DNA sequence: ATTACTGTATTAGCTACTTAATACAGTATA
DNA sequence: TATACTGTATTAAGTAGCTAATACAGTAAT
């Protein structure tokens, strides 16, 4: 498991941890049931206080993405395929909802909003593919 | 000009002011060149410190949506139609970009993201229409 | 110049959030 | 029980952001 923290981005450390672990789980890079690095281990790697990691883990558990077992460790939750797809859809819906509200408020036609999304999707999709070959 | 502030939403007052005025300008409810309420007037109406309003106005000017003239007042900017459309597109693109990145990261197909956007758009579009008849 | 409006720079206090230090608690193994 | 790992509750310090009080500055009309 590789995480990178940008201490100068302004984004809180615990949120960076959450986002990166969430994506690794959602993208299948972390197998279900697999044990994650311990609080202290990850804290040492990132040169950060253990409580900061513990907080990130706690919020990931609320999301249902990991299971914490005191004295044992932290494990990627075993999600049903349905659950996994559902979680993905929920995460996407959050951001798409904001976009939809904005479009409606500004009086931008559905078609134009749709085209803009597709253009942006393809832009980032191609970026991702090129990165995966590095 | 009618604004409503929710002091308990957690959203800073100045941002609530910005968002509501921005929307009123973008939706054409505020004519171009029209004078807006003065800093002190709006501050009194919202029972807020004048500097809070001034800050909101300052940021709206950076966006190019209003013009401040010290000693005179604040006016809705005279935007070319192109400029107006451009501003709208920029505002929408900001939120759509986040959605596109999320969709790509989660491996959600373009088609599904597009369908979800359309569904949400229609949902909020119909809500807006029904409200305008109240 | 005076008056009465406009907006604003500075400063300070408050609050919420983030992070960290410490001490504590659960589990597994010998 | 002893040890060595796990995670965690409490507390406090630091920081950033928001709001407000005050005094200041520009404009217009008298």
pLDDT band at A134 (very low <50, low <70, confident <90, very high): very low
Nearest neighbour of B99 by CB, restricted to A92, A107, A128: A92
Residue B78 has pLDDT above 70, yes or no: yes
Query: % helix / strand / coil in chain A, to the nearest 5?
Result: 60, 5, 30
State pTM to two decimals.
0.74
**Alpha-carbon gap, residue A95 to A114, rounded angstroms:** 14
Q: What is the pLDDT of residues A117-128, one digit of tens each?
A: 999 999 999 987
Of A119, A115, A88, A125, the closest CA to residue B118 belongs to A115
The pLDDT, as a whole number, for residue B111 is 97
The answer to whether B96 contacts A89, with C-beta atoms less than 8 Å apart, is no
Protein-nucleic contacts, chain A 91-130 to strand D, CB < 7 Å = none
């Amino acid at each position: 498991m590789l995480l990178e923290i940008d201490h100068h981005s302004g984004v809180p450390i615990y949120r960076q941890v959450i986002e990166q672990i969430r994506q690794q789980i959602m993208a299948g890079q972390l197998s279900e049931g697999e044990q994650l690095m311990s609080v202290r281990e990850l804290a040492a790697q990132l040169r950060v206080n253990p409580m900061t990691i513990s907080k990130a883990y706690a919020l990931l558990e609320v999301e249902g993405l990991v299971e914490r077992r005191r004295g044992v460790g932290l494990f990627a939750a075993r999600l049903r395929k349905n659950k996994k797809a559902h979680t993905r859809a929920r995460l996407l819906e959050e951001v798409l909802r904001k976009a939809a509200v904005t479009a409606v408020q500004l009086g931008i036609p559905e078609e134009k909003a749709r085209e803009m999304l597709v253009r942006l999707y393809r832009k980032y999709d191609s970026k991702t593919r090129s990165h995966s070959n590095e």
